[in-house]
Amino acid sequence: MRLPENIDGLSPAELKDLVYELLRKVVELERTVAAQRDGIARLKGGPGRPNIKPSSKPSGMEQATDPKPPGRSNERHRRGGTRAKLTINEERKIKLPAPPSGSRFKGYTSFVVQELVLHSHVIDFQCERWLTLAGTVITAPLPEGFDRHFGPQLRRFVLAHYHQGQTTVPRLVMLLRAFGIDISKRELVRLLTAGHDGFGAEARDVLRAGLASAAWITVDDTGARHKANNGFCTQIGNAHFTAFATTTSKSRLNFLSLLRAGHGDYVVNEAALAYMRERGLAAHVIARLAEHSDRCFADQAARTAAAQPHPRQSPTALTATSFAPVT
């Protein structure tokens, strides 16, 4: 292509033709450069330019501008109403301070607000005292759950924040004092460590009810540290219940004792006698237990005393091999 000697003397049509020619040359040069780059990349062992075929499907922008098919709603899917999941604890009627003259009352419109109430609540129980004819004084007992100077809701708050919220004792003391609770660190530690027999009884009852109603159970155990000692945490449960127990052993006897769910009595039945014979227990011990009047024993000491093992036989071996707990 030969450039003109005087560009200023060109007419608008000639300038336009010149621009088109230059643009065509630029496009050809870009294609040549791209092909040379691909060739150089292949010679160096690298991948060439990907061969992307044009798609027959419309792009995302085109799909967004297409009209929706009839019968399909444009509204986004909304989750269920919150009001149906809530229990209304209080209703307040809000009045308009000064409605315009001539307005008619049209009822109320509902606006539900969820609030959390955290404040100190001190109760002074005035317990009746009666003097009997015998000279003794009888005092009316406190309501259920109020056995100490801190109520059940406060104890629940402390246990939940310490065990589930991983809140330390000093922070819990500061938090309770900010709410207006007069409590010391020692009293808080006492709430965390004392008077929890009810939790153990509840866990035991859950295990008993689960074992009584379950068609199947699963069992697993893992290592656990308890009071600076190595132990084992055993899990027993199924899809409907779960029970955990931390012990120092994971033996068969330990597992059988966990399945007892707190029961300490023993029964020597035919399955237990068959197990004794299989394990090679002394014949005179098996006979003595088989001839027992009811074969029922209140605890481990009673069953061991009833067997009266031979002096040369270890009582430990008797305990480990002789008895099967009640199932």
Per-residue pLDDT reduced to its tens digit, 148-176: 889 889 998 999 999 889 899 999 999 99
Does 222 lie in the same domain as 186?
no
Q: Is residue 111 part of a domain?
A: no
Q: Is residue 271 part of a domain?
A: yes
pLDDT at res. 19: 85
Compute the average pLDDT of residues 265-283.
83
Does 247 lie in the same domain as 278?
no
Q: Is residue 97 part of a domain?
A: no
Q: Which of 33-42, 215-224, 257-266, 297-306 has the lowest mean pLDDT?
A: 297-306
pLDDT at res. 279: 82
pLDDT at res. 74: 54
Question: Using CA atoms, how far apart are residues 317 and 327, in angstroms rounded to an integer?
Answer: 22
Q: Is residue 124 part of a domain?
A: no
Q: Is residue 211 part of a domain?
A: no
Does 248 lie in the same domain as 270?
no
Which of 229, 259, 289 is at the close of a domain?
A: 259
Q: Is residue 154 part of a domain?
A: yes
Q: Is residue 29 part of a domain?
A: no
Task: Domain count for the chain, please give it.
Answer: 3
Task: Go through the chain and tell me how many residues it has.
Answer: 327
Does 316 lie in the same domain as 271?
yes
Q: Is residue 119 part of a domain?
A: no
Q: Which domain holds residue 246?
A: 216-259
Percent of all residues in the chain with a pLDDT value above 70, rounded to a whole number: 80
More confident residue, 41 or 293: 41
Q: Which token pair is 297? A: 């024993």
Residue with tokens 């207006």: 180
Q: Against a cut of 0.85, is the pTM above it? A: no
- CA neighbor of 159 nearest in space, from 122, 183, 190, 119: 190
Does 273 lie in the same domain as 314?
yes
- CA neighbor of 227 nearest in space, from 246, 254, 250: 246
pLDDT tens track for 75-98: 555 666 777 888 888 898 999 888
